[in-house]
Amino acid sequence: MSKPILNLDYENQTILFISDMHIPYHHQDSMEFLSALKEVYDPDLVISLGDLGDFHAISFHDTDPDLYSAGEELEQLKAYSQELEEIFPSMFIVGSNHGDLALRKALSNGLPRSMIREFNDIYGVGDDWFFVDDITIRTEADIPDIYVAHSIRKNAIQVAQQRGQRFIQGHFHESFGINYAGNPNSLLWGVNSGCLIDKTSQAFAYGKLNLNRPILGTVVVENGIPTCLPMVLSKEGRWIQEVL
């Protein structure tokens, strides 16, 4: 995969970042939520922060035999990815620990990259979905780049300060928020994007005793300013059909 640098006047653009979905173990209303965000924000650029697919059945960790088999999970992934492609025909997807499991498993078993299918084939989507390692977004204006990765460390603003770039990441399902830091030259921000998982699924049983629980939502950057967009649920666990 590549590490693209996108030259974008992002202070005059809208970028939608899709937080971890873990298809097919995503929240049942997440597609409808994302479709509503598209209607409201009409983004110029859409970026998935990774873990778009879960690949639970081929994990390096123990798997739950009551969940989908590897073949069933792949078919579900393709179907839901194609549904998401209908909403966002063009999208960048950054590399991640779950999203890259097919590649990681192949390499761990000694297969050369030339024998491995392209991610677009695995997900069953067209060539306007771009699977990349990470992304740097630059603008001609005298403002910091935005660096996009699945995860570096939980403290996102610390990463932003160390890199001298604005920074957004996924991975940390229980972390959802924005922190700012200023220096003599610029204003930096670091964002943790939450997730869009079905937190009741057995795929996430590993976190059932955690004091902190997953926060559903995602992030939009308009005119260089990030906003967290919570996916608020009713007491029955369904999206309330309102973009806040």
The answer to which of 81-85, 128-132, 183-187, 218-222 has the lowest mean pLDDT is 183-187
Q: How far apart are CA 229 and CA 105, in angstroms?
A: 34
Q: What are the phi and psi torsion angles at 81 (to 5°)?
A: -65, -40
- The neighbouring-strand residues paired with 56 are none
**Among all chains, which residue has been given the structure tokens 């990815």?**
81
Angle at 36 between CA 35 and CA 40, to 5 degrees: 120
Higher pLDDT: 115 or 80? It is 80
Whether residue 237 is contained in a domain is answered as no
Question: What pLDDT is attached to residue 1?
Answer: 66
Whether residue 187 is contained in a domain is answered as yes
The answer to which of 65-69, 129-133, 195-199 has the lowest mean pLDDT is 65-69
Beta carbons within 10 angstroms of residue 16's beta carbon: 24
Question: What pLDDT is attached to residue 139?
Answer: 85
Question: What pLDDT is attached to residue 136?
Answer: 95
Res. 172 pLDDT band, cuts 50 70 90: very high
Whether residue 242 is contained in a domain is answered as no
Q: What is the CATH number of the domain that holds 67?
A: 3.60.21.10
Go through the chain and tell me how many residues it has: 244
Whether residue 202 is contained in a domain is answered as yes
Whether residue 140 is contained in a domain is answered as yes
Q: How far apart are CA 66 and CA 73, in angstroms?
A: 12
Whether residue 135 is contained in a domain is answered as yes
Q: How far apart are CA 77 and CA 140, in angstroms?
A: 38
Which tens digit of pLDDT belongs to each residue from 191-216?
999 999 999 888 787 767 677 889 99
Question: What pLDDT is attached to residue 212?
Answer: 80
- Domain ranges, residue 133: 5-230
* Overall domain count for the chain: 1
Beta carbons within 10 angstroms of residue 7's beta carbon: 11
Whether residue 238 is contained in a domain is answered as no
Whether residue 128 is contained in a domain is answered as yes
* DSSP structural state of residue 204: G
